[in-house]
Amino acid sequence: MQCILAYDLGTGGVKASLFNKDGKNISYTFIEYETYYSIGGYHEQNPNDWFNAIIKATNQLMNSSDTLPADIMGIGLSGHSLGIVPIDCNGRLLVEKTPIWSDTRAKSQAETFFKFVNYATWYYKTGNGFPAHLYSIFKIAWCKQNQKEIYDNTYKFLGTKDYINYLLTNVALTDYSYASGSGVYDLLDKKYCDEYIQIIGIEKNKLPEIIASSEVIGMLQKEAAQKLGLIEGIPVVCGGVDNACMSLGAGCFEQGDTYASLGSSAWVTVATKKPIVDFQNKPYVWAHCVNDMYIPSVGVFSSGSSLKWVKDNFFSDLNHYDNPYAKIDELAEQSPVGAKGLVFCPQLAGGSSIDISYNVRGGFFG
């Protein structure tokens, strides 16, 4: 039996699956990990938690199926966007926790940049419709100003799935879809914008080089293979940002295809041959993991993460169930339509491009 191992590093945890060569899902599991929130807009995760979750998920997949290590023909990852993971020239992780996509600490760095660059011009070139300070390059600029020793010792600032790829292969690269969330990626020229990199004052060589999502980045190395219980030498493809890989998985990769995603955040996406940009409404545009395609999207930053907050704060007594969310669903079914007038504003991660203010937060009324 020939199989593919696929991992998705989501905000809430890693989703791992085994597929046979016909695309049939053989086995699936989900391992949760923690997000750490603190004053100053810090939303952080520990990259070691990602890899430990992947190790645990791999063991569960292999043990729950008839799949043997020799059956695995390839490995591919997607990962949540806008992350920066600093490694030194020996591949050593330089921090315990790294900012994830929703981290808002880099506001002043973005404001400084836009003193020299017109915001609309930047948006139309990059398609970056999230609040600007969420994008990777501004988080790197924050690191340079506030953690200079870490910045100086950084060989590459990697994305989430690119860091895992490095642990698997000892190769530090990214793909076009993940690079399009860097804040300095030219959507039409399909490369980093040197002008923007110079203005923000970051050395370009600290950004990973870009290849196609489908290219083999390298082979599974011995140490990683032993931890995963797999065989050395399995091809690992570069993979893509979660939005792009989910679009592909949903069959959204030809002109006009659309899909909706409900995860930790939620969005609606269309596949297009050209970027769709509009400065007033700021759809955020990613390069697709399918060559020469784009995925303009609009969305909200809290969806499943808001449900998790409700579970943790109101229904912690249900955590002993295998699926506490199913029990919450049962309780919700007992409530009349309209919830007796109670309304929950679920913007727990702040506003997105479709909100009037990124400072909007959650609340109950009625």
The model's pLDDT over 30-81, given as tens digits with 9 standing for 90+, comes to: 999 999 999 999 999 999 999 999 999 999 999 988 889 999 999 999 999 9
| Tokens matching residue 215 | 């290219």
At residue 354, does pLDDT exceed 80?
Answer: no
Tell me 50's DSSP state.
Answer: H
The model's pLDDT over 233-289, given as tens digits with 9 standing for 90+, comes to: 999 999 999 999 999 999 999 999 999 988 888 999 999 999 999 999 899 999 999
Return the sign of the alpha-carbon dihedral for residues 300, 178, 10, 86: negative
At residue 90, does pLDDT exceed 80?
Answer: yes
Is the CB of residue 35 less than 8 Å from the CB of residue 100?
yes
The model's pLDDT over 5-15, given as tens digits with 9 standing for 90+, comes to: 999 999 999 99
The model's pLDDT over 289-303, given as tens digits with 9 standing for 90+, comes to: 999 999 999 988 889
The model's pLDDT over 103-155, given as tens digits with 9 standing for 90+, comes to: 999 999 999 999 999 999 999 999 999 999 999 999 999 999 999 999 999 99
Half-sphere exposure at residue 235, Cβ-oriented, CA atoms within 13 angstroms: 10
pLDDT at 275: 97
pLDDT at 363: 87
Q: Spell 304-323 as b/e; 16+ CB within 10 A means b.
A: bbbbbeebeeeeeebeeeee
Is the CB of residue 187 less than 8 Å from the CB of residue 126?
yes
Least Cα distance to 201 among 151, 131, 162, 160 occurs for 151
Is the CB of residue 239 less than 8 Å from the CB of residue 157?
no
Residue 282: C-alpha distances to residues 81, 120, 241, 355 (Å): 18, 10, 19, 10
